[in-house]
């Protein structure tokens, strides 16, 4: 009897290991190309910033201001709104309603193109906006010269992000990774030629970025249109206009959710900028935020993997598989978070020198290494819980949680600790961490208490609601 129980336990353990191994392969097949894509996109901004620094200090300051405020704002909205397409395409693919993916893609193009057009005034009237925010006149004026160059890039994102979600939902993501790597390499080459060799200044740096961005977008168009997605792309159709309002509602809640995430760090950096006599601490804080941004870029790849896996399984009607995928994803990212946190603690006294040669700034970064390690660890679990929410189409819920935890708790507490308690940057950062902790705990509790069978039913009803107008129009 005991031998039988032992054999049964051994079989169960082997079966669990096999399931974890299979799920992990699925996750990394999705996550790695997505990471490569995010790193390539973020890397283009960094490379352009480097070349702007070679053009002049004023140009560098103006570019950094645009990237931190206007581009981050537009990027967050477009990435967020595209996550709605991830929900719909992922669930439709899981339900084997393959023809619906192309319709959802076209619908999301219309929504994102309209959104990008609405955002145009932010890039056209950059100088008066920055002056209104209290920026120096020469920086605001130079920012106004640079900002219009971002308009073609924003329009490329309006199409690119949705196509990436469309392909990732059906596990055709290697093409995304390779194209991102190729465009990044081209961007570096063109930036070097236009800025260093031809001395074209700002136009040269921005044209390099425009060409690299549209290279990915055009290549994805060709990949989809020229027969590599025969089951999911059936051509342009007016069915994309059917039942438009629910799609817009889901896209808006998705955009708000991601934008609130991306703006959180920017608001705290802005708060740090108003501290008195804290130039060194602010510089160190900005370096730490930059490190967090790079780590978050990697985590976003796992967000994509989690959202696709959850949406696919919910579309199939397999609640247990969706739960298992969340557990494996969460374990993977927590282990990554522990690893990166240890690196931050062990090499905390040297990390600062990657970004600066100033001894005092590097020493301040070292003193903030514990807070940096905590933030890096929290990002790992928080992002996966967000990915699970995207996969189940609950972006609106996450947006409300972000508002409460980040902006009603994190920012005010950070301001109180930074200004009133005179903890300066450390106080602001503690407030930021508190906001992330609350968001993570709330999302974790909601994910734990979720009835995933109910989410399967909701996914089925959502797909039926979006599919019904198409069937009615075909019947007529």
pLDDT digits (tens, 9 = 90+) for 106-137: 999 999 999 999 999 999 999 998 888 777 78
Tokens of 432: 């930021």
CB 85 within 8 A of CB 100: no
Distance CA 182, CA 132 (A): 40
Measuring CA to CA, which residue among 219, 201, 89 is closest to residue 145?
201
Residue 167's pLDDT is 93
Distance CA 148, CA 69 (A): 14
CB 101 within 8 A of CB 235: no
| Residue whose pair of structure tokens reads 């995010």 in the numeric block | 38
Q: Can you say how many angstroms the Cα of residue 39 is from the centroid of all Cα atoms in its chain?
A: 11
Q: Which DSSP symbol is given to 8? A: H
Q: pLDDT below 50 — which residues of the chain?
A: 1-2, 5-9, 473, 475-476
CB 231 within 8 A of CB 175: no
Cβ neighbors of 460 (< 8 A, separation 6 or more) are 95, 317
Residue 6's pLDDT is 44
> Angle at the Cα of 169 (from 165 to 172), degrees rounded to 5?
90
CB 340 within 8 A of CB 377: yes
> Angle at the Cα of 434 (from 373 to 408), degrees rounded to 5?
145
Report CA-CA distances (Å) from 165 to 52, 219, 247.
31, 15, 15
Q: Can you say how many angstroms the Cα of residue 116 is from the centroid of all Cα atoms in its chain?
A: 17
CB 309 within 8 A of CB 170: no
Distance CA 327, CA 330 (A): 5
Handedness of CA 324, 329, 331, 332 (dihedral sign): positive
| Residue-level length of the chain | 476
Q: Can you say how many angstroms the Cα of residue 203 is from the centroid of all Cα atoms in its chain?
A: 28
Residue 13's pLDDT is 61
pLDDT in tens, 223-252: 999 989 999 998 888 887 777 777 777 788
Residue 5's pLDDT is 42
CB 315 within 8 A of CB 92: yes
CB 353 within 8 A of CB 362: yes
Tokens of 336: 């990554």
Nearest-10 Cα torsion for 289, 137, 125, 148: -70
**Radius of gyration over alpha carbons of the chain, in Å?**
23
Report CA-CA distances (Å) from 36 to 159, 291, 304, 459.
19, 17, 12, 30
């Amino acid at each position: 009897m005991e031998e039988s129980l032992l054999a049964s336990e051994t079989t169960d353990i082997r079966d669990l290991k096999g399931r974890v191994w299979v799920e992990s392969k699925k996750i990394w097949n999705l996550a790695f190309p997505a990471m490569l894509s995010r790193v390539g996109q973020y890397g283009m901004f960094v490379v352009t910033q480097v070349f702007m620094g070679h053009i002049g200090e004023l140009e560098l300051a103006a570019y950094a201001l645009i990237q931190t405020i206007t581009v981050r704002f537009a990027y967050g909205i477009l990435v967020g709104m595209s996550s709605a397409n991830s929900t719909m395409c992922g669930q439709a693919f899981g339900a084997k309603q393959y023809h619906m993916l192309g319709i959802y893609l076209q619908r999301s193009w219309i929504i994102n193109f309209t959104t990008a057009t609405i955002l145009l005034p932010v890039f056209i009237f950059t100088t008066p906006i920055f002056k209104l925010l209290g920026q120096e006149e020469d920086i605001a004026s130079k920012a106004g010269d640079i900002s219009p160059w971002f308009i073609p890039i924003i329009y490329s994102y309006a199409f690119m992000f949705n196509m990436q979600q469309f392909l990732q939902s059906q596990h055709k993501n290697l093409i995304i990774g390779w194209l991102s790597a190729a465009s990044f390499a081209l961007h570096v080459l063109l930036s070097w030629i236009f800025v260093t060799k031809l001395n074209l200044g700002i136009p040269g740096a921005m044209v390099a970025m425009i060409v690299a961005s549209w290279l990915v977008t055009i290549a994805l168009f060709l990949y989809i249109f020229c027969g590599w997605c025969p089951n999911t792309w059936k051509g342009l159709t007016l069915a994309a206009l059917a039942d438009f309002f629910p799609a817009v509602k889901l896209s808006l809640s998705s955009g708000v959710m991601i934008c609130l995430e991306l703006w959180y760090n920017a608001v705290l950096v802005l708060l740090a900028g108003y501290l008195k006599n804290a130039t060194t601490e602010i510089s160190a804080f900005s370096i730490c935020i930059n490190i967090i941004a790079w780590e978050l870029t990697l985590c976003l790849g796992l967000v994509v993997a989690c959202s696709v896996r959850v949406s696919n399984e919910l579309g199939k009607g397999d609640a247990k598989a969706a739960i298992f995928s969340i557990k494996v994803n969460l374990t993977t990212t927590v282990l990554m978070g522990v690893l990166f946190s240890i690196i931050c603690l062990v090499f905390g006294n040297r990390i600062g020198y990657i970004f600066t040669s100033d001894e005092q700034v590097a020493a301040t970064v070292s003193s903030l290494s514990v807070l940096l390690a905590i933030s890096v660890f929290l990002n790992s679990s928080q992002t996966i819980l967000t990915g699970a929410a995207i996969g189940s189409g609950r972006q609106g819920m996450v947006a409300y949680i972000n508002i409460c935890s980040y902006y009603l708790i994190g920012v005010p507490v950070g301001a109180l600790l930074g200004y009133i308690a005179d903890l300066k940057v450390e106080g602001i950062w503690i407030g930021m961490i508190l906001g992330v902790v609350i968001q993570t705990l709330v999302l974790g509790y909601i994910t734990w208490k979720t009835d995933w069978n109910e989410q399967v039913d909701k996914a089925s009803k959502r797909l039926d609601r979006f599919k019904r107008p198409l069937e009615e129009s075909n019947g007529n």
